[in-house]
Amino acid sequence: MINTRILPLIRKEFIHIRRDPRSLVILLLMPLIMMFIFGYAINMDLKHIRIGICDLNRTPSSRELIETIRMSPYFEIVTYYNNPNRTEALFTKRLVRAVIIIPADFGKSHARSRFANIGVITDGTDANSATLVQNYLDGLFMGKSISSATNGSGPLVSVKSRMLYNPDMTSSHFVVPGIVAILLIMIGALLTSVTIAREKETGTMEQILVSPIRPYEVVLGKAIPYLVLSFTIAVFILVFGHLWFKVPMLGKWGFLLLFCVFYVFTALAIGLLISTVVATQQVAMMLSLVITMLPSVMLSGFVFPVASMPRPLQVVSQIIPATHFLKIIRGVMLKGNGPLELWPSVAAMSAVGLFFILLAVRRFKLKLK
Amino acid sequence: MSDKAIQVTGLKKRYDSTSALSSVTFSVEKGEMFGLIGPDGAGKTTLIRILTSLLDPDEGTCRLLGISVHEDPKSIRKIIGYMPQRFSLYPDLTVGENLRFFADLFRVPRKERLKKTEELLEFSRLEPFVKRRAGALSGGMKQKLALSCALIHTPEILVLDEPTTGVDPVSRREFWSILKSLKKSGVSILITTPYMDEAERCDRIALIHHGEILAMGTARSVIDQFSGSIFSVSGPDLLGLSRWFKRQLRSDQVRILGDRVQLNLFSSTEKNVSDLVKDAKASGQVIDAFGRENPELEDTFITLIAEREKRNDQTISS
């Protein structure tokens, strides 16, 4: 049965949206701007890292090694030298972020055992970069070792880590899905809480409440238009992230979008909950941002892995919808996962979402206080 | 059916430590226009919100056409039309869209809606503005639109909370003539207003102050309860006169009315007026004329409030 009271509410809400094109533009532009800022600023990729090479060996072997490094897009060799005492000055003058020292016996040991040590010194004041430099160099020399091994003789055992699904460690592939998760929950909660707060502020809510309307009708009448709007924004930023930041889409769009709908619904429920406790648009806005943005950024695994959090925070992270959505969206886009692999996250997110929705409908009262 | 349009018994409501309503009882007959008169903060809006099922009372009952507001708020919401104190329509929706929205909320069938819309637009004379956004209407037109929205589902009881506050005198008069024709069509009306002149247009009124009804009845009968007397004094320096009298009496007993100073001597223990005038002259005030005036509703109200406060003071001090 079509409920005849929800339809006019939806129609009315769309008139509001249409009559306020400025807010609509902001709603579409804000996610884009945020995506650009996050997509480029939270850039953990390192390219053209300036390094120095201290070659104490100066043999064909060492020159071959230097050539390998020079060919890599990650490193830019700014200086060659052979006095190790200069090393510290290079760091203090911030000329390099890493120095590779090729020991004097490099050629000899390389020729003898096809296995040689080199020294790598990185700048510990920039811990993130230091780790990454280390990883890149490891990756680089692994290739080198393998190539030596194939045309050489004897086995070569060396434990090396390898990044799956994001082999280049392109951070945008990791960050963009995270931004989608944060933006959706933020916009969804913001839209609903602010529009309901506006109706309270202008007194129109009072006028609606004296009609024979039921709570679920008000809730759905508000939720459906903003579900449509938020979902449009979701598709917009997903497609944008896919095309602009080249985030791969290995899984199925249909599956991801289906879950976007449910995730957005959860966001709207949070907005609805917020609207039951606030009276003004400003408070609604602040509360929505604080409640959705901070936990989604800090505790969802977007920035810090959940597994390395203290136990109480791990528990908290489980009730944050973004935690589960992040697993789903990264799984679908980067790993090509489907419902079969993702069902635990899907179930967890559904539970969290349903919890918020039911709580919102229950808390929404048809009385004034 | 012998049910009254509105029957309120022993209504009490507190907000934290302040009492908004203390045992309010009154009733409104079918087809009657009943006015709740009181200053800001008297409890009028609280009372109306309880009547319209927006608020739950702490104690007491209200029945509209025999239906209990607390037991069956849904049925109540179908038979009342409510116009809140603040303009609470959607400013970004047009006049027509606002009407349509509220008609749909009450599930008015299409055919009836079109007929009713036409009717309401005609008698509120908003027809030329159907396509104008509600936010761009003048104050008086906004109120007429709000009234039209409250009437779109043909309610049996109309509840209006200060509909004419902040509206220009011409629009006010027009608004009242609309109410009058509504009353003629059989709608029961409960209206609140801080304006005394509007009170006199109601069939019956209740004076409410600090959540308590001080007097009730027709405007005439309420005025007749007035026990004091009103005098007017005129002279060249009205401001000086009023200042002088205010020093002798309480400040709410003295007011300047155009060309005269009006004195409200409500208590028999007060000084005799001729003595007062004599004293005034003796202290250098110039008085051209003084005489008795007929009391008005406002005088009665002020007197009743003053008496009530005096009684409260006594109970506190004793």
* Euclidean distance between CA atoms A55 and A25, whole angstroms: 58
Flag whether A67 is in a domain: yes
Beta-ladder partners of A53: A80, A100
Flag whether A281 is in a domain: yes
* Euclidean distance between CA atoms B20 and B18, whole angstroms: 6
Confidence band (pLDDT; 50, 70, 90) for A112?
confident
Higher pLDDT residue, B11 or B258?
B11
pLDDT surpassing 90 at residue B8: yes
| B64/B176 same-domain check | yes
Count of structural domains, chain A: 2
| A257/A180 same-domain check | yes
Structure confidence at residue A150 (pLDDT): 41
Flag whether B222 is in a domain: no
Quote the Cα angle for B204-B210-B216, to 5°.
20
In 3D, which of A102, A117, A89, A90 has the Cα closest to residue A54?
A: A102
Number of residues in chain B: 318
The CATH number that applies at residue A94 is 3.40.1710.10
| A191/A334 same-domain check | yes
Quote the Cα angle for A84-A86-A88, to 5°.
100
| B244/B189 same-domain check | no
pLDDT surpassing 70 at residue B213: yes
| A101/A212 same-domain check | no
Residues of the domain holding B111: 6-217
pLDDT digit string (tens) for B28-69? 999 999 999 988 888 899 999 999 998 999 999 999 999 999
How many CA atoms lie less than 13 Å away from A95 in the CB half-sphere?
A: 13
Q: CA of A195, closest CA in chain B: separation in Å?
A: 12
Flag whether A118 is in a domain: yes
* Euclidean distance between CA atoms B147 and B145, whole angstroms: 5
Element of type H or E holding B187: none
User: With contact defined as beta carbons under 8 Å apart, do B315 and B278 qualify?
Assistant: no
Structure confidence at residue B249 (pLDDT): 81
Structure confidence at residue B2 (pLDDT): 59
Which structure tokens are listed for A361? 């409908």
| A133/A206 same-domain check | no
Nearest to A210 among B77, B87, B89 (CB): B77
* Euclidean distance between CA atoms A350 and A356, whole angstroms: 10
Q: Residue A352 is which amino acid?
A: V
Whole-prediction pTM? 0.76
- B positions 42-71 inside 8 Å of A (CB): 49, 52-56
Flag whether B260 is in a domain: yes
pLDDT over 90 percentage in chain B: 49
| B137/B193 same-domain check | yes
Q: CA of B257, closest CA in chain A: separation in Å?
A: 37
Flag whether A159 is in a domain: no
Q: Give the single-character DSSP code of A214.
A: -
Q: Residue B301 is which amino acid?
A: F
Contacts of B96 (CB under 8 A, 6+ apart): B117, B130, B131
Distance of CA A195 to the CA centre of its chain: 28
pLDDT digit string (tens) for A15-42? 999 998 888 888 888 888 888 887 777 6
Pick the residue from chain A with its C-alpha nearest to B56: A367
| A197/A292 same-domain check | yes
pLDDT digit string (tens) for A53-82? 988 888 888 888 888 888 887 788 888 888
Flag whether A160 is in a domain: no
Flag whether A157 is in a domain: no
Element of type H or E holding B161: strand B157-161
Confidence band (pLDDT; 50, 70, 90) for A129?
low
Q: Could you give the ipTM of this predicted complex? A: 0.78
Flag whether A163 is in a domain: no
Please, is A362 exposed, middle or buried when counting C-beta atoms within 10 Å of its C-beta (0-12, 13-18, 19+)?
Answer: exposed
Residue B300, phi-psi category: left (phi > 0), alpha (psi -120 to 50), beta (remainder): alpha
Count of structural domains, chain B: 2
Boundary (domain end) residue, out of B191, B217, B243: B217
The CATH number that applies at residue B37 is 3.40.50.300
* Euclidean distance between CA atoms B89 and B95, whole angstroms: 9
Residues of chain A whose beta carbon is less than 8 angstroms from a beta carbon of chain B are 4-5, 7-9, 11-12, 15-16, 19-20, 202-204, 206-213, 366-368
Least confident of A283-287, A348-352, B247-251: B247-251
Q: Residue B192 is which amino acid?
A: T
Residues of the domain holding A113: 49-151
Least confident of A154-163, A174-183, A358-367, B32-41: A154-163
Q: Is the dihedral of CA B103, B107, B110, B113 positive or negative?
A: negative
List of E strands, A158-303:
none
Number of residues in chain A: 369
| A269/A303 same-domain check | yes
Pick the residue from chain A with its C-alpha nearest to B51: A210
Distances (CA, A) of B203 to B2, B9, B33, B151, B288: 19, 20, 5, 21, 39
- B positions 164-223 inside 8 Å of A (CB): none
* Euclidean distance between CA atoms A270 and A264, whole angstroms: 10
Three-class SS state of B190? strand
Nearest to A212 among B49, B78, B97 (CB): B78
Range B195-216 average pLDDT: 91
Which structure tokens are listed for B3? 């049910």
Boundary (domain end) residue, out of B217, B252, B284: B217
| A101/A184 same-domain check | no
The residue whose two tokens read 């009713």 is: B116
Q: Give the single-character DSSP code of A307.
A: G
Higher pLDDT residue, A150 or B304?
B304
Pick the residue from chain A with its C-alpha nearest to B76: A212
In 3D, which of A12, A19, A329 has the Cα closest to residue A184?
A: A329
Residue A66, phi-psi category: left (phi > 0), alpha (psi -120 to 50), beta (remainder): alpha
The residue whose two tokens read 């005096």 is: B310
